[in-house]
Amino acid sequence: MDRELGRRLLGDMIRIRRAEETLADLYPAQEMRTPTHFSIGQEAVAVGVCAALHRTDVIYSGHRCHAHYLAKGGSLDAMVAELYGKETGCARGRGGSVHLSDPAAGVLASSAILGQTMAVAVGTALAFAMDGLPRVAVSFFGDGTVEEGIFHEALNFAVVKKVPVLFVCENNGYSTHTRLDVRQPASVTIRARAASYGLPAQAVDGNDVFAVYDTAQTALTHCRSGAGPAFIECATYRWREHVGPLWDHDKGYRTKAEVDDWVARCPIKSATARLLREGLCTPADVDAMTRASQAAVNHAVAAAKAAPFPAVEDLTLGTY
Amino acid sequence: MDRELGRRLLGDMIRIRRAEETLADLYPAQEMRTPTHFSIGQEAVAVGVCAALHRTDVIYSGHRCHAHYLAKGGSLDAMVAELYGKETGCARGRGGSVHLSDPAAGVLASSAILGQTMAVAVGTALAFAMDGLPRVAVSFFGDGTVEEGIFHEALNFAVVKKVPVLFVCENNGYSTHTRLDVRQPASVTIRARAASYGLPAQAVDGNDVFAVYDTAQTALTHCRSGAGPAFIECATYRWREHVGPLWDHDKGYRTKAEVDDWVARCPIKSATARLLREGLCTPADVDAMTRASQAAVNHAVAAAKAAPFPAVEDLTLGTY
Amino acid sequence: MRRLTYGQAISEATVQCMEADPSIFVAGIGVDDFKGIFGTTLEAHRRFGDKRVFDIPNGENAMTGIAIGAAAVGKRPLVVHPRNDFMFLCMDQLANLAAKWRYMFANGTGVPIVLRGIVGRGWGQGATHSQSLQAMFAHFPGLHVGTPATPADAKGLLVSALTGTAPVVLLENRALYELEGEVPEGLEAVPFGKGAVTRPGTDITIVGVSLMAYEALRAARILADQGVDAEVIDLRSVRPLDEELVLTSLRKTGRLVVADTSWALCGVSAEVAAIAAEKGFVSLKAPVRRVTPPDSPAPVSKPLEDAFHPNPMTIARACLDVLKAAGASTKGVADVQATFAGPY
Amino acid sequence: MRRLTYGQAISEATVQCMEADPSIFVAGIGVDDFKGIFGTTLEAHRRFGDKRVFDIPNGENAMTGIAIGAAAVGKRPLVVHPRNDFMFLCMDQLANLAAKWRYMFANGTGVPIVLRGIVGRGWGQGATHSQSLQAMFAHFPGLHVGTPATPADAKGLLVSALTGTAPVVLLENRALYELEGEVPEGLEAVPFGKGAVTRPGTDITIVGVSLMAYEALRAARILADQGVDAEVIDLRSVRPLDEELVLTSLRKTGRLVVADTSWALCGVSAEVAAIAAEKGFVSLKAPVRRVTPPDSPAPVSKPLEDAFHPNPMTIARACLDVLKAAGASTKGVADVQATFAGPY
Ligand SMILES: Cc1ncc(C[n+]2csc(CCOP(=O)(O)OP(=O)(O)O)c2C)c(N)n1
Ligand SMILES: Cc1ncc(C[n+]2csc(CCOP(=O)(O)OP(=O)(O)O)c2C)c(N)n1
Ligand SMILES: [Mg+2]
Ligand SMILES: [Mg+2]
Question: Tens of pLDDT along D169-189?
Answer: 999 999 999 999 999 999 999
Identify the residue among D97, D209, D265 best suited for mutation to test binding to C, counting C beta carbons within 10 A and taking the highest.
Answer: D265
The reply to whether D60 belongs to the active site is yes
Which helix H or strand E contains B218, and what residues bound it? helix B209-222
Angstrom CA distances, D51 to B130, B156, D45, stand at 7, 19, 9
Asked, as a colleague might, if the bond just before D240 is cis with ω within 30 of 0, I would say yes
Mean pLDDT of D107-111: 86
pLDDT reported for residue A74: 98
Nearest CA in chain A to D308: A315
Mean pLDDT of C188-195: 98
Q: What is the pTM of this model?
A: 0.97
Mean pLDDT of B298-315: 98
- Whether C326 shows a pLDDT value over 80: the answer reads no
Q: Give backbone dihedrals phi and psi of D305, rounded to 5 degrees, phi first.
A: -60, -40
Q: What is the pLDDT of residues B203-256, one digit of tens each?
A: 999 999 999 999 999 999 999 999 999 999 999 999 999 999 999 999 999 999
Q: Is B63 in the pocket of ligand 2 (CB under 6 A)?
A: yes
Q: Which atom of ligand 1 is nearest to the CA of C92?
A: 1
**Banded pLDDT at C328 (limits 50, 70, 90):** low
Task: Out of D33, D59, D304, name the one closest to residue A93 (CB).
Answer: D304
The span from the CA of D312 to the CA of D220, in Å, is 8
Q: What is the pLDDT of residues A187-229, one digit of tens each?
A: 999 999 999 999 999 999 999 999 999 999 999 999 999 999 9
Residues in Cβ contact with D43 at an 8 Å cutoff, skipping those fewer than 6 apart? D11, D12, D14, D15
- Whether D34 shows a pLDDT value over 50: the answer reads yes
- Whether C335 shows a pLDDT value over 80: the answer reads no
Q: Give backbone dihedrals phi and psi of A228, rounded to 5 degrees, phi first.
A: 110, -165
The span from the CA of A315 to the CA of D82, in Å, is 27
Q: What is the pLDDT of residues B78-135, one digit of tens each?
A: 999 999 999 999 999 999 999 999 999 999 999 999 999 999 999 999 999 999 999 9
* Structural contact between residues D133 and D172, judged by C-beta atoms closer than 8 angstroms: no
Task: Out of C61, C105, C141, name the one closest to residue A149 (CB).
Answer: C61
* Structural contact between residues C287 and C228, judged by C-beta atoms closer than 8 angstroms: no
Subunits with 3+ C-beta pairs closer than 8 A to C: A, B, D
- Whether B313 shows a pLDDT value over 80: the answer reads yes
Q: Hey, are the CB atoms on D267 and C265 less than 8 Å from each other? A: no
The minimum CA-CA distance between C216 and chain A, rounded to whole Å, is 30
**Banded pLDDT at C283 (limits 50, 70, 90):** very high
Using the CB atoms, write b or e for C207-237: b if 16+ within 10 Å: bbbbbbbbbbbbbbbbbeebebebbbbbbbb
pLDDT reported for residue D333: 54
* Structural contact between residues C81 and C89, judged by C-beta atoms closer than 8 angstroms: no
Q: Any CB–CB contact under 8 A between A298 and chain B?
A: no
Mean pLDDT of C133-155: 98
The reply to whether C231 belongs to the active site is no
Pick the more confident residue, D124 or D109: D124
**Lowest mean per-residue pLDDT among B193-197, C104-108, D250-254:** C104-108
Using the CB atoms, write b or e for C79-98: b if 16+ within 10 Å: bbbbbbbbbbbbbbbbbbbb
The C-alpha torsion from B129 through B132 and B133 to B137, rounded to 10°, is 10
**Banded pLDDT at C344 (limits 50, 70, 90):** very low
* Strands A230-235 and A201-205, bridge-based pairing: parallel
